[in-house]
């Protein structure tokens, strides 16, 4: 079996046999690095026997964190999730990750940003942020094991 990315090939020989063979564990695992960007991926059976492929697993093909967000000129509501852990059981989760969230279109001003644990509802982190000028506001996320919510609104003016 030949596995290729943009002409770079990894090859594995599975000798023909008189009977079906099922490999256990990593007995038939093949892997190849896939850098960011568009690629041509090829998979060929160039041997003299048939091969059955049970699955393809792509890892580290996107940032660990994903997000859905709504924003207006003076508010942000976002849900940030750990791609590998959002559907995993607690005992199967990978390490928590953090990242950054870019928020375009927010007006200049002072905002209170509160990150919440979505399971307990408790605040994970809170900060007053001052947005100056044009351009997107970039926020650093806390460490996220499964998911978190962000609520950001203007700070009330002092009297």
Query: Greater confidence, 38 or 26?
Result: 38
Tokens linked to 4: 């290729």
Q: What is the pTM of this model?
A: 0.66
pLDDT digits (tens, 9 = 90+) for 74-128: 999 999 999 988 888 888 888 899 999 999 999 999 999 999 999 889 999 999 9
* Residue carrying structure tokens 């093909």: 61
Nearest-angstrom CA–CA distance, 127 and 78:
16
- DSSP state string for 14-34: ----SS-----TTTT------
Q: Count helices and strands (H / E) in the chain.
A: 0, 10
Nearest-angstrom CA–CA distance, 79 and 70:
9
What's the confidence (pLDDT) of residue 159?
65
Contact 94, 85 (CB under 8 A): yes
Give me the mean pLDDT over the 6-23 stretch: 81
What's the confidence (pLDDT) of residue 66?
94
137: closest CA among 61, 78, 64, 83?
78
């Amino acid at each position: 079996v030949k596995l290729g990315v943009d002409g770079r090939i990894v090859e594995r020989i599975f000798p023909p046999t008189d009977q079906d063979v099922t490999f256990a564990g990593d007995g038939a695992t093949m892997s190849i690095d896939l850098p960011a960007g568009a690629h041509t991926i090829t998979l060929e059976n160039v041997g003299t026997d048939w091969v059955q492929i049970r699955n393809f697993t792509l890892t580290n093909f996107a940032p660990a964190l994903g997000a859905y967000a709504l924003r207006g000129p003076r508010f942000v509501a976002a849900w940030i999730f750990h791609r590998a852990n959002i559907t995993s059981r607690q005992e199967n989760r990978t390490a928590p990750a953090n990242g950054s969230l870019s928020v375009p279109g927010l007006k200049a001003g002072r905002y209170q940003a509160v990150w919440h644990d979505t399971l307990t509802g408790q605040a994970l982190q809170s900060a007053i942020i001052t947005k100056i000028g044009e351009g997107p506001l970039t926020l650093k996320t806390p460490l996220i094991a499964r998911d978190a919510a962000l609520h950001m609104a203007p700070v009330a003016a002092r009297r």
